[in-house]
Structure formats: structure tokens, C-alpha cells
Amino acid sequence: MSEEIYPIHEAYVPQRDNNKMGFWVFLSGEVILFGTLIGSFMLFRHRNPEQFAEVTATLNIPLIALNTFILILSSFLVVRALESLRNGSLKGLRLNLIGVLVLGALFLGGQAYEWIELRNHGIWLDSAFGTPFFTTTGIHGTHVFIGLLWVIFILIGIGKGAYSKQRFHGVEVFGLYWHFVDVVWIVLFTLFYLI
């Protein structure tokens, strides 16, 4: 053995950076998940052009455009929430996150309204349009719902003193998730409603 021995270091990289990197890797897998779903939607459209043209014409685009705006606004609030926390304002963090909670719930409400409308028009899971449409937007909606649970989790954490000017990384990672879900929605809105 060599004479030269290095001491063991506790950690070479702070754990919070590891959490963030792990989450990025997770999100790269999510890209494949939504990519597969979107690919299936495109295949169904290619196979059933008439039905897709017909249903797309009846979609409530103003409602969903409003929904898209709501989701983008909520992403903006997440940015502000993190900003407030880094400036040391727990009140700002709490208010902005409550805003996210309200906007996210509005988004899900809008989506539920749209689904009921479509169902009343006879478009449901067993149709060629409905099969990929409800599945993809449903899985996206589930992501929004999980995000809202996460917000509630953070709000409870604020009360327990889990966040401070220095400890903002939990909110930062939540922000990554929320922005990702937002971006996915913008892609879905473009592909499913506008094109």
C-alpha cells in the first residue's frame, strides 16, 4: 500500500443537488411517457381522419384556451413563490402557492366540464377519438392533481418550519415538476386542439 492516504469525505456534493439531478433524470423518463401517448394519438388520427376532423371541430377551444392560460398563470405563481421564499418571505410563498392550488383546481374543473360536454355529445372512451384523447389528457390531469397534492404537502411543511431563505430546494424541485407539466400541456393543446 502506498504511504499516501486521503481522508474520507462525508459527501462530495450537497444532497440537495443530488435530489435535483435525480428529478431531472425522472423528468427525462416522463418525456418518453408522454411521447408514447402523443405518438398513439397521432397514429389514431392518421387511421381515423374523418372522425377526428369531426370531433375536433366541436371541441370547446375557448374554454381550453382559458384553461391553458390558467395553467401558464399558475406556473408564473410558482416562480413567484420560489422568488418570495428566496427573499425570506414565507407569507409570499404561502399566498402564491394557494394561488397555484386555486388555479390548478380551476384547470381540473375546466377539464371535467369539457369531458362531460364531450360525453353528452356521444364521444367517450370507446370511440376512436376518445380512446387516445381521454387517456392522454387524463394522464396529464393526473399529473396536475399530483402536483396539487404536492402543493398541499408544501403548505403543511411551511407551518412546520420546513422552508426558509436557505432551505428553498424542495420548492425548487416542485417548480421543475410544475413547469414540466405546464409545458406538456402546451404541447397537448397545440397538437390536439389547434392542429
Partner 1 sequence: MTTQTGTFPYMRRAEKSKFLSWALTTDHKRIGILYLVTAFFFFLVGGIEALLIRLQLAAPGAEVLGPDAYNQVFTMHGMTMIFLGAMPIAIGFANYMVPLMIGAKDMVFPKLNALSYWMFIFGGIFMYSSFLLGGAPDKGWFAYAPMTMPAYSPGMRMDFWALGVIVLVVSSTVGSINIIVTILQMRARGMRITQVPMFVWNMLITSFIGVFAFPSVLVAAALLLLDRQLGTQFFNTGAGGDAMLWQHIFWFFGHPEVYILILPAMGIMSEVVPVFSRKPLFGFTIIAFSTAAIGVLSFMVWAHHMFSTGMSQIALLFFAADSFLIGVPTGIKIFSWLATMWGGKIRFTTSMLFAMGFIVMFVIGGITGIHVASVPLDWQVTDSYYVVGHFHYVLFGGTILGFLAGLFYWFPKMSGRLLGERMGKLSFWTIMIGMNMVFLPMHYLGLAGMPRRVYTYPADAGWAFWNMFETWGAFITATGFLFIIINIVMTLRRPATHEADPWDGYTLEWATSSPPPPENFDSLPPVRSRRPLWDAKHPDMADTH
Only one residue has cell 380512446, namely 131
Nearest to 74 by CA among 179, 188, 170, 163: 179
Chosen residue from 66, 108, 128, 176 binding partner 1 by CB under 8 A: 128
Only one residue has cell 431531472, namely 24
Cα 121 to Cα 132: distance, rounded to the nearest angstrom? 17
Chosen residue from 56, 60, 89, 131 binding partner 1 by CB under 8 A: 131
Chosen residue from 110, 130, 141, 147 binding partner 1 by CB under 8 A: 130
Contact (CB, 8 A) for 20 and 169: yes
Residues 42 to 101 in contact with partner 1, rule: CB under 8 A: 43-44, 47-48, 51
Contact (CB, 8 A) for 57 and 41: no
Amino acid at 80: R
Is 166 buried (19+), middle (13-18) or exposed (0-12) by CB count in 10 A?
exposed
Q: Select the span of 39-47, 62-70, 74-82, 173-181 touching partner 1 (CB under 8 A).
A: 39-47
Residues 10-29: x/- map of binding to partner 1 (CB under 8 A)? xxxxxxxxx--xx--xx-xx
Chosen residue from 125, 146, 162, 186 binding partner 1 by CB under 8 A: 125
Number of residues that bind partner 1 (CB under 8 A): 44
Binding site for partner 1 (CB under 8 A): 1-2, 4-18, 21-22, 25-26, 28-30, 32-33, 36-37, 40, 43-44, 47-48, 51, 125-128, 130-132, 134-135, 139
